[in-house]
Amino acid sequence: MDNMCTTRPLPRRGDVESVASGEPNHPHGTDGGRVIIRLVDHQATYSVRVAIERATEPKMTELTITADVGEAVDYDALRSVPARRLAHTAAQWLHRAGGRLAFPDDTAESRAQPENHDSKAHRAARIANDALALGLPVRPTVAAELNVSTKTVSRLLAKARSEGWFSDDPLPRRPQPQQRDINPEETK
């Protein structure tokens, strides 16, 4: 019998604690509806409405902050509102029919910080694909674009491969040769 650890990591301040519908007549969530979100160690409940458009991040169109009993919505409370996290949480909850759908890879960690995907790995894959297409050396090109070391580039590309953003084919060891002009008379 395996000794697998099945305990979830302790929630951190700002992680998503609970999500529910903010519409009394639509308990399971509909597009454009309000979503009630509670965050760990926040002394308020957030009611959020988001606009979801293809190929862009969700945009928060409405935010209502309701302070807990004995608390106030002051300047510090407003500054600590994680707008991006709230927008992503609401959009994902609405996309999943108000929490009625789940996927096998869902974990407390992925719902806790939904906006924190590894975008650097995605950018590295895009830059690497462009470098391959242009015949440039891949690792140095990605390293220069992202301002990271080539070791970090290797790690990012491995992550991109595991996510399916980058081909599993091995990278060329040296850059492709420069193309020469077809008509030598034009260069004279």
pLDDT tens, residue by residue, 168-180: 777 766 655 555 5
| Gap between the Cα atoms of 125 and 46, Å rounded | 36
> What pLDDT score does 166 carry?
80
Q: Are 34 and 47 in contact (CB under 8 A)?
A: yes
| CB proximity list for 180: less than 8 A, separation 6 or greater | none
Q: Where are the domains of the chain?
A: 16-101, 119-163
Is the model's pTM score more than 0.75?
no
Position 175: which residue type? P
**Residues 107-155: pLDDT tens digits?**
454 455 555 555 788 888 888 888 877 777 888 989 999 999 989 999 9
pLDDT at 11 (0 to 100) = 76
Residue 15 has pLDDT above 70, yes or no: yes
Residue 61 has pLDDT above 50, yes or no: yes
Residue 10: other Cβ atoms inside 10 A: 7
User: Which residues contact residue 81 at a Cβ distance below 8 angstroms, ignoring those fewer than 6 apart?
Assistant: 46, 63, 65
Mean pLDDT of the chain, nearest integer: 76
CA pair distance 91, 39, nearest whole angstrom: 16
Rounded Cα distance between 83 and 17, Å, is 15
Q: Which two tokens stand for residue 79?
A: 């500054």
Pick from 111, 105, 68, 67: which is nearest to 89 by CA?
Answer: 111
